[in-house]
Amino acid sequence: MVDRRDIGSWLQGPPRATDYPGKRLGPPERGPGSVAGLGRRILALFIDWGLCYLIASAFFGRENIAILTIFALEQIVLLGTAGFGVGHRLLRMRLQRLDGTAPGLGRSALRTLLLLLVVPALINDQDQRGLHDRAAGTVLTRF
């Protein structure tokens, strides 16, 4: 016989996970040091891309390769040295290795090259890290 509790649990959906994004990596659930959310990351990407578009338009016209090159250089240099691009800084995010240290130019170059392919950035794990961050061994956190 079907019990009301069986139907009720089915109607309520799957059980909620008690884990939060980044719990396996060690950062806190909220506040400084927590994993940055998807909306914040996308907005930072638009800010960086728009800024690179303006720079490329001013110096090279509207050539797509110029925009892409400026974006790649901005990401590699700023993320590798400071840990954040312009959009990240405005939205209070920092890129770091899993141990909390700066990513360095090599990791930021790998991350940027995969980011330019777009698809790796769209595939996220339960810690809200895209494949580009997993390959580079980095995580984007709030500060």
* pLDDT tens-digit series, residues 65-118: 999 999 999 999 999 999 999 999 999 999 999 999 999 999 999 999 999 999
Residue 21 lies in a domain: no
Residue 5 lies in a domain: no
Q: How many domains does the chain have?
A: 1
pLDDT of 42 higher than 90:
yes
Burial class (CB in 10 A: 0-12, 13-18, 19+), 61: exposed
Residue 19 lies in a domain: no
Which domain range does residue 53 map to? 30-142
Residue 9 lies in a domain: no
Residue 124 lies in a domain: yes
- Phi and psi for 130 in degrees, rounded to 5? -75, 170
Residue 10 lies in a domain: no
Q: Report the predicted TM-score, pTM, of the whole model to 2 decimal places.
A: 0.81
Q: What is the pLDDT of residue 22?
A: 86
CA atoms 18, 24, 26, 29: torsion sign: negative
Residue 23 lies in a domain: no
